[in-house]
Structure formats: C-alpha cells, structure tokens
Amino acid sequence: MSLRKLFAVLPALVIALVLGAQPSQAQPVHTGHIEVELVSQEAGAAPGSTVYVALSQKIQPGWHTYWRNPGDAGDATKIVWTLPPGWTAGDIVWPTPEKSRVGPLLDFAYTGEVLLPVPISVPASAQVGSVVTLKAAAAFLVCEQVCVPEDAVVTLTLPVVAGTPGTDPKWGAKVAETLAKAPKPAGLRAVFALQGSVLKLAVTGAPLRGADMSGAFFYPYSGKAIEHPPEQPIERGPEGLTLSLTPGYDFTQAETKPTELSGVLALNGVAYEITATPGTIPAEAGGLGAPPAAPAKAHGAASEGASLGLPLAVALAFLGGLILNLMPCVFPILSMKAASLTAHAHDAGKTRVQGLAFLVGVVVTFLALAGLLIAVRAGGAAVGWGFQLQSPAVVAALALLMLLVALNMSGVFEVGASVQNAASGAGGSGNGVGGSFLTGALAVLVAAPCTAPFMAGALGYALTQPPLLSLAVFLGLALGFAAPFVILAFVPGLLGRLPRPGPWMDVLKKGLAFPMYATAAWLAWVYSQQTGSIPLAALLAAAVLVAFAAWLYGLAQTRQIAGKGAVVPFILAALSIVAAVALVVVGVRSVPAAPAPAAGTSAEAPAGPGLAAETWSPEKVKELQAQGKVVMVDFTADWCVTCKVNEGTALKGQRLVDAFKANDAVLLRADWTKRDAVIAAALAEHGRAGVPLYLVYPKGTGEPAVLPQLLTEGLVIEAVEKAAKGA
Amino acid sequence: MPITRRLVAAGLPALMAALPSLAHAKSAPAFIAVDVDGKTRSLSEFKGRVVVLEWVNEGCPYVRKHYSGNMQGLQQAARADGVIWLSVASSAPGKQGYFPDGAVAKAWMDAKGAKPTTLLLDPQGVVATAYKAKTTPHMFVIDRDGQIVYEGAIDDTPSAKVEDIKTAKNYVAAALNDVKAGRKVAVAYSQPYGCSVKYKDA
C-alpha cells in the first residue's frame, strides 16, 4: 500500500469509527395505515459488495399489503430507487405471503410487520469515507375492507467503509432473518401435468423427504397460471408431494400452453422457490395420501371431542354399537345370528359358549379394524371409518364371502365341523365356537360402514385421541354391538321364550339366506360403482365359479358321508376357487385405468326423479351461499346403506322438491365411495370420521346446521326453512 | 358401416378446423339485473352487439383513477361505435361502493360525467359471481357472438396513479379496435388489478 493510498483511506477509517455508533440513518414515514422505513442489514457499504436494504412496513392491525402476485385482487408494493451514480438496486426478495380470503376471492398478502429486502450493488469505485443517501419512492396498496393506495419517499444514509462492515445493531438481525426465511431454490425437481380439469404439480427432492407437508400451498408468480381460491389437495409421497391445482387462463384458454410454472411452495415454516416444467408426475411424489388433518383444521372435532370426554365417548359408543344392530346394513347379519342362536336355544351351556365366542369375534375384529385405521391415519392417509369398503378388492372379497355364506345357509354345502350333523339337517354354520367367532367378525366387517347415531360423535372423538384412548372408544362400540346377542345367550328367561327347535329351523335358515344373497348383490353394485362394467363382469364370473365350487364341495361332502371317493370334486372345487380369485385380482388390477369416469358418474347421478344434486366442493358451497341460496350438503358413499336409505326416503319426495324450490335451496352431494382427501378433511372439520353427514348452510354467510344421521323428510324441510329464514 | 366411416372421415377435417377457435372461446354467462332506471336488463337483449362489462366501485381508488377522464372517454368512444357499455356495481349493502338505489347511482354518474349505456345494480353479487369478477375495475369485452374476447385489467400498468394512464397500454381500447376490425383480439386476458369486488360475505 502506497503512502498516498494510506492517506486517502485514513480519514475514511476515522469517519467510519465515528459513525460506528450510528451507522445508518433513516426516518420512518407514516402514510396513514403504515409506518414505512428504509433499513439496512449492514452498518455500512463496502465498495464492490452487495448490501441488503429493506423497506419496512409496520401495517395497522386488520390491514394488509400485497405479495408480488397479489392474488385475485390488490396490487403489489413497488419501489422506485434514486441512487448515487453506479449504485444499482435488484428485485425485492419477497417473503412468503399469507392467504387472505375475501369472500370468494383469495389474495396473497402481508400483515403486521414485514420487511421487503432489496439487494443494492455498491460500485467498486465508491469512495470510502463518503456517506451516501439511498432514496426509495415506495407505492403500495393497503387494504382492509376498503383499499387505500399510499406513497412514501424514504431515505437511508450509509457510510462507505473499507473491509467488511458490521451489521446494523437495530435491523441487521431482522433483515438477515427475513432473507434466511425467504423462499429459495433448494435443488427441488418440479413437474407439472394437466390432467383434465386438474393441474398436477409434483415436487420432489431431499428437503421434502419426511417433511411436514400439512398445509402445503403453491403461490404462483403469475396471476394467470392457476385459479387462486380453490383448495390445493395434497398427496404425499416418499420423495415429495403432489398438489392438485385448478388451472387458470394460461392452461385452459391461452393459445400457447405454458412451458414453465414457477412460484413458491410453502410448507409449515419453510418455503422453496420452484420452477416446474411439463412432464410425467413421478411415482415417488405420491401414494401416501393426504397429510394427517392439521390441528387447526380439526378444531371443530377437538372442541366437540373435548367437551365429550372419554367416559361419555365410551358410553355413546356403547349406545351407538347397540343401535348399529338395527341399522339397515346389519339386517342380514342379524338373520345369521338368529339362525345360529335358535339352533341351540334350549341348550344353555352351548349357547353361552357361542355367545362368548361371538363377543370375542366382534371385539377382536373391531379392535383390529380400529388398529389398522389408526395405523393408516398415522401414516397420513385421509381415511375414515368404513375405509375398508373404499377398496374395491375388499368389496369384491366381501361380496364373494357373502355369496358363500348364503350358499351355505341354502344348504349347498356345510362348514367343517358341522359336516357330521349335515345329515340330521339341524346343523348349520355358526354352530360351533369357531362359527360364532366368524359370525362376529363378519358382522363387524359389514356393519362397520354404517355409522349409527351416537357413534358419529364418538368416532370423531376417538380419531382425534392418542391410540390407546381411541381403542377404548372402539371397545365400547364393540361391546355395544355384541351386547344383544350375548345378553340373549346368558339370560335364561329370554332363551326360554324362543320357540323349541325343530324342522322349522331349517326353513328359517334357508329363508334367511336371501338377505345374504341381497347383501352380495349390493356389494357387487358398490364394486361396479367403484370400478366399472368390465371388472363387474369379472366379479360376476367369479361369483359363478364360487357357486360352482360350493356345489362341488357339497357334492364331495355327501359322497364322503356315503363312503364314496371325493377327491375329484374336492380338487375341482379348489380349482374353481383359485380361478375365481384370479378373476377378481385381474378385475381389481384393471381399475386404475379408468377411475375418473366412475367417480364422475356416481357423483353426478341425480338423487331421484325430483331433486337433482350437484357435485360438492367447498368453493361451490361458498359460491352458492353468496348467491343467496340455502345449501344442503349430503356426504354419502355407495357402500353406506344408511346414506342410501336416507336418500331414498327423506331426500327424494315431491314435498321436499317443493320446499327446496320455495326456499331457493340447492342440494350438493359429496361422494366418498372412493377415497377423497378433500371430503375426509370436510368430515374431520365437523368432528366426523365417516358418512353420512348432512349439513344445511344458511344463505349468505354462516356456519351450517348439522342434521341427525337418520333423516325424515319433515326434518330436512324444517332445517331448510329455518336456514332460509335465519339469514 | 363403410358409409358411416367415410362420413366421419369427411367430417373430421371440418371438425378439427372448428376446434381451435372453440378451444379458446368462452361463452359469456347470461345474466339478468336491474339497472339505475329500475329496468330489468339481460345480456340476451344485446344479442348481436358488442358488449363491455365494467365492474365499478365509486369509492375504490383504482376506479377513481380511471374516472379522472380515462373511463368516460373509453365509454364515449365505444358507444359511438355502437358498443353496449354496462357498468356493474356489485358492492353488497354496507360495503364500499354500494348504491342503495338507482337515483344515488345516477347522481354519481352525473357527477363524474360517466356515459355507459346503463349501470346495473348487483348488490347480491349475482352477476359478479357468474363472471368471477375479482377487482374494480375488472373489464370484459363480449363479441357479437356472445363470446368473451377480452377479460382482465383495463390497462397494463397496475397502479392507482392518474399519471400512469398516459403511458399505459389500454387493453380494452385495443380489444374493441380488434373486434371492430374483425381481427382476433391480440391480448385476450390479463390479471386484473384494483380493489377486491366487495362481495357480501367478504
């Protein structure tokens, strides 16, 4: 360093030291709703470096300013700089915004205190020792109910210093934190694909592995890429996630389709900048379902559940289990129980053992299902009670099982231990301990999807509790469900009232086979709704094979009893069963090829001749409410018999149609026949884990009224009229 | 069967030719609303005419910016060309920009020298919901066939400053010129800017 240079630097160092106490200076400006100030991360600016200067907005409570893409309405903050020659300002580093809902619109906004940092390049020629003034003319729109454009010219004086300047004592840490939290690219791979009316956005990469994905949201940089207000359902995957966006103008109408979709992916507390390109959605960006309901979202359930408390929840569950015996979907199972009970109605010892076996069967199956449900939910899938019937494979298996039970009751074949009694004609399935256990298990499998009154609240409570407490509630449910049969088996007075056994029992059993055939037929229909006509054909073919196998098996049994060879029919029966299983497997495998049409048609299907239902979405409810309509939402599923009975009896009649017309009401239907994260979330919001759920929203705004799970026409009309008046 | 096949084959090119235009067109939703004179107006009564819809909220600074003369000028020029100009006030009762009756709206129009064909009172937000109107102003240009050929901002400069109008490119004027000349509208969509439409549940 030459002497001349040293002399040039020396005064600067002195000045820097003097200014050290008060390095940068700014005056806040109050514009009406905002206090604006220009602040700096560094205490000074070194020649050739970049310093971050931020526009600080202290926004009046209730008001907000806007992000770079303001969303549906609004206007982003703009800064016009006046800088010394050679100094240049970059773009604002936008912190992740908040979602601000205004009626049907969604804006991207900031509230409270926000810093908008801007990188300022200091020229190498900047004179060390000089003090520069940075001037920013900021224009911003600040809105509450109304919007006010405000302006401020703010300045900041910064000393030019040699070497690394220290951080500003007041603002340095805050600006640094804002910069650290601002969305940044993180080597994430992002791909988008337009699938019909849904724009899938898949993001994968190391930072997303095992990340908390609840509340994930994509903020697009362009205001024309997607519709802002709709929910963005989340599908988690081992390597990332897939969001279902609603495509906007650029994807639906523009002549040249976008080749890029960029914006901010915000998770809980972190945000990444992503630029997606067209491509195939990778498998590792999905498959794990929606994230577990966020605590904030489940507040409805929590508050309802908290007021319930464990003892009350268990008591309600017991009561619910009792009533479950009377639900339409349990009738065939009841018939089986009756058949097996009368077989030994007057042998108290055997009946008691059977009663206990049935109880164990019910409890074990209930707890196993509950355990599975809890495990799957812990894994993050948005499933609820009745979820087992959302899987076509399970439905197909149950249909064939029901057919087998029916054939058994029809006397086509006998089960295991009861072969010996077959000739006497007094035997039957469910005769032994194993049979009673199986009856209990079967009853639970088919009855579970019917959430009965009282059960709904208890289940909603159960699924928001730690696993052990949940299981306690399910145990209550199981005990309630098994109670009538067990009581019948243990109270001698009751048993004495049953008629004496005799040949009439065989007739009863064969007669009661028909509800079982009906159950099989119903499940086949549910299966067809979930899959389509070709898988249904495969299932029906499998049913024929199963019947054939049952007949062969029965034939072999008869031959065995007669002392003849039975190997050939046994082998043929086994082969038929294998073929039947293979058919079902092929049928189920073919399903993913065409899932959308099935869902679409079942959702669009009108309720009946009178009242047509439209497909539900949270936005649609808001939209219709805004139009001054009363909105009733029917959360249903094809496998939910209670739902179907309600729809057939209470949601169909002419009186109801007239009442809907008179009160300007609309029926929306949310079909949960197949898994649907948005519907599951909506159910959770109302503290429910299953269907049916009936909501009646008043016109305009306001929370919905929840109707009971067994509807009558009068009840619905009353609720709709009340909603129409209430607004 | 062969005849059917041939028919389909012959029809295909025609169908394909029709498709691109169909793919981008968007039919203007029908609506019925009461205007400042208490008359019931509907979109269908203007069949065969070019129609401009302008969402308005007299209290909104962005509306005020353009009512410094820009909006009135556009209205006059458009109507001179035979265009139907409908201003729509969708602010709900109690919200900024709500007109309790036609007289109040007319008084505002007179004070501003506004020259739309008429102003529709939409306090329930029915027309706004049908068009998904987001901001004031939010502009729509509907061609003679009832297709929305432009929707979005009034110009390309989102700001509340009157002085920005001079340098801004007016999208509505450009769209009307394109329609008049029988051309395809060059910019058919833009992100609207301004105050949010004051829907009643907002």
A107-163 pLDDT per residue, tens: 999 999 999 999 999 999 998 989 999 999 999 999 888 888 888 999 999 999 988
Residue of higher predicted confidence among A310 and A628? A628
Under DSSP, the state recorded for B147 is B
Nearest-Cα residue of chain B relative to residue A222 = B191
In what helix (H) or strand (E) does residue A149 lie, and over which residues does it extend?
strand A147-159
With b for 16 or more beta-carbon neighbours within 10 A and e for fewer, the A296-334 pattern comes to ebbebbbebbeebeeeebbbbbbbbbbbbbebebbbbbb
The CATH number of the structural domain formed by A605-724 is 3.40.30.10
What confidence tens digit (pLDDT) does each residue in A71-104 have? 998 899 999 999 999 999 999 999 999 998 888 8
Q: Please check whether residue A24 is in contact with residue A158, taking contact to mean a CB–CB distance below 8 angstroms.
A: yes
Nearest-Cα residue of chain A relative to residue B58 = A146
pLDDT score of A609: 45
pLDDT above 80: residue A603: no
Q: Please tell me the distance in Å from B176's CA to the nearest CA on chain A.
A: 19
Residue of higher predicted confidence among B183 and A429? B183
Q: Which of A47-61, A354-368, B139-153 has the lowest mean pLDDT?
A: A354-368
Tell whether B157 lies on the interface with A, counting CB pairs under 8 A.
no
Chain B contacts of A150, Cβ < 8 Å? none
A182 contacts: CB under 8 Å, gap ≥ 6? A93, A94, A95, A96, A117, A271
Q: Please check whether residue A283 is in contact with residue A237, taking contact to mean a CB–CB distance below 8 angstroms.
A: yes
Tell whether B62 lies on the interface with A, counting CB pairs under 8 A.
yes
Under DSSP, the state recorded for A499 is P
What confidence tens digit (pLDDT) does each residue in A21-33 have? 344 566 788 888 8
Tell whether B68 lies on the interface with A, counting CB pairs under 8 A.
no
Beginning with the edge strand found earlier in the chain, give each strand of the sheet holding A65-71 in spatial order.
A65-71, A105-110, A98-102
Under DSSP, the state recorded for A21 is T
What confidence tens digit (pLDDT) does each residue in A2-25 have? 455 545 554 444 444 444 434 456
The CB-side HSE value for A563 (13 A sphere, CA atoms) comes to 0
Tell whether B5 lies on the interface with A, counting CB pairs under 8 A.
no
Nearest-Cα residue of chain A relative to residue B190 = A224
Which residue in B129, B189, B191 is closest to A104 by CB distance? B129
* Three-state secondary structure of A352-381: HHHHHHHHHHHHHHHHHHHHHHHHHHHCCC
A230 contacts: CB under 8 Å, gap ≥ 6? A245, A246, A617, A619
The sign one gets for the Cα dihedral A200, A206, A212, A215 is negative
Q: Please check whether residue A470 is in contact with residue A374, taking contact to mean a CB–CB distance below 8 angstroms.
A: yes
Interchain pair A625, B201: CB under 8 A: yes
pLDDT score of A497: 66
Tell whether B125 lies on the interface with A, counting CB pairs under 8 A.
yes
pLDDT above 60: residue A490: yes
Q: Which of B123, B110, B97, B106 has the alpha carbon at shortest distance from B194?
A: B97
d(CA A540, CA A396): 10
Residue of higher predicted confidence among A287 and A113? A113
Which tokens go with B115?
């020259």
What confidence tens digit (pLDDT) does each residue in A637-688 have? 877 767 777 787 788 778 888 888 888 888 999 988 777 778 877 887 777 7
**ipTM here:** 0.79
In terms of C-beta density within 10 A (0-12 exposed, 13-18 middle, 19 or more buried), how is residue B8 classed?
A: exposed
d(CA A82, CA B187): 33
Helix axes A433-447, A392-409, angle to 10 degrees: 140
Helix axes A348-378, A433-447, angle to 10 degrees: 40
Superfamily of domain B25-196: Glutaredoxin (3.40.30.10)
pLDDT above 70: residue A361: yes
Q: Which of B124, B71, B121, B72 has the alpha carbon at shortest distance from B99?
A: B121
In terms of C-beta density within 10 A (0-12 exposed, 13-18 middle, 19 or more buried), how is residue B141 classed?
A: buried
| Rounded (to 5) percent helix, strand, coil in chain A | 45, 20, 35
Interchain pair A103, B194: CB under 8 A: no
d(CA B151, CA B53): 9
In what helix (H) or strand (E) does residue A636 lie, and over which residues does it extend?
strand A630-636
What confidence tens digit (pLDDT) does each residue in B153-200 have? 999 999 999 999 999 999 999 999 999 999 999 999 999 999 999 998
Q: Please check whether residue B140 is in contact with residue B53, taking contact to mean a CB–CB distance below 8 angstroms.
A: yes
Radius of gyration of chain B (CA): 19
Radius of gyration of chain A (CA): 34
Nearest-Cα residue of chain A relative to residue B123 = A627
In what helix (H) or strand (E) does residue A635 lie, and over which residues does it extend?
strand A630-636
Strand ranges inside A72-111, DSSP E? 78-82, 88-89, 98-102, 105-110
Chain A contacts of B202, Cβ < 8 Å? 102-103, 105, 145
Interchain pair B134, A105: CB under 8 A: yes
Which residue in B62, B190, B199 is closest to A626 by CB distance? B199
pLDDT score of A416: 52
Interchain pair B62, A147: CB under 8 A: yes
Best mutation site among B155, B159, B195, B197 for testing chain A: the one with the most A CBs within 10 Å? B195
| Rounded (to 5) percent helix, strand, coil in chain B | 35, 20, 45
Whether A605-724 and A189-285 are alike in CATH topology: the answer is no
Mean pLDDT of chain A: 79
Total residues belonging to chain B: 202
Beginning with the edge strand found earlier in the chain, give each strand of the sheet holding A240-245 in spatial order.
A217-220, A261-266, A271-278, A189-195, A198-204, A240-245, A234-236
The CB-side HSE value for A409 (13 A sphere, CA atoms) comes to 30
Superfamily of domain A3-171: Thiol:disulfide interchange protein DsbD, N-terminal domain (2.60.40.1250)
Tell whether B19 lies on the interface with A, counting CB pairs under 8 A.
no
Query: Which residue's structure tokens are 């065995």?
Result: A560
Q: Does domain A189-285 have CATH number 2.20.25?
A: no
Best mutation site among A99, A147, A150, A255 for testing chain B: the one with the most B CBs within 10 Å? A147
Q: Which of A658, A601, A610, A666 has the alpha carbon at shortest distance from A633?
A: A666
d(CA A636, CA A449): 11
In terms of C-beta density within 10 A (0-12 exposed, 13-18 middle, 19 or more buried), how is residue B80 classed?
A: exposed
Domain boundaries, chain A: 3-171, 189-285, 303-399+412-516, 605-724
